[in-house]
Chains A and B, each alone.
Chain A
Amino acid sequence: GAVVSQHPSWVICKSGTSVKIECRSLDFQATTMFWYRQFPKQSLMLMATSNEGSKATYEQGVEKDKFLINHASLTLSTLTVTSAHPEDSSFYICSPLRVYNEQFFGPGTRLTVL
């Protein structure tokens, strides 16, 4: 199957700092990248959809100025949580789309904001 990596796998930061999460598709190109968030004991919720070279489309209730998404290449997308607060503590999962109907998931990044 396709290989997707995320870095870091976990991060602890102080409130008010920014955290960047990288997602790479290692053996395929992804024109579309989905970013999900998962709170403890809950399901995955889509945050935003980005297409390479375009601005991301955010789901209702997700602040675009707080969660900055950059999809500069077909193999790399980044999610930056700006001015993180404890309520942003969550599990963030990227999901690149290889071809139509083939979506893969990264291993996730656990963010803890103190």
Chain B
Amino acid sequence: SQQGEEDPQALSIQEGENATMNCSYKTSINNLQWYRQNSGRGLVHLILIRSNEREKHSGRLRVTLDTSKKSSSLLITASRAADTASYFCATDANLGVGQNFVFGPGTRLSVLP
């Protein structure tokens, strides 16, 4: 099964509202990353949070990490129509042969004008 599981799978909000997406994972991690993917396009790296960090900010993005609950959240404040995309969390699955990030199924965010 997937290491990362995003919740909700789909989210629709009005422009200007905040959007919160959650990610849960199963095993211990070294770091967790959030990515955005516009329809039919490649991945865009948003933010990396390490296991010893609890919160990070980048512009309108705020990511939290709770290792005791094995969960992370991505908050987008003052959303814009351009934020419409799929958002994935990816956790390092430290397989011992380099590293590999395991992606969750993603949250499809729709920001309505």
Residues of A within 8 A of B (CB): 1, 31-32, 34, 36, 41-46, 49, 51, 57, 91, 93, 95, 97, 100-101, 103, 105-108, 110
Contacts and interface: CB of A to CB of B under 8 A. Distances in A.
B55 to A, nearest CB: 20
Instruction: List the 6 closest A-B pairs by CB distance, nearest first.
Output: A32-B98, A107-B42, A108-B42, A44-B103, A43-B105, A43-B103
B33 to A, nearest CB: 9
Given A42-B105, A43-B106, A100 B40 contact: no
In this complex, which of A43, A49, A91, A101 has the most chain B Cβ atoms within 10 angstroms of its Cβ?
A43
Given A44-B103, A101-B92, A105-B43, 20 more contacts: A32-B97, A32-B98, A36-B103, A41-B108, A42-B106, A43-B103, A43-B106, A44-B88, A51-B98, A93-B42, A97-B98, A97-B99, A100-B98, A101-B99, A103-B99, A103-B101, A105-B35, A105-B45, A106-B42, A108-B43
Interface in B40-58: 40-43, 45
Chief secondary structure at chain A's binding surface: strand
Nearest to A59: B100
Task: Tell me which of B31, B97, B101 has the highest count of chain A C-beta atoms within 10 A of its own C-beta.
Answer: B101
Interface of B: 2, 30-31, 35, 40-43, 45, 88, 92, 97-106, 108
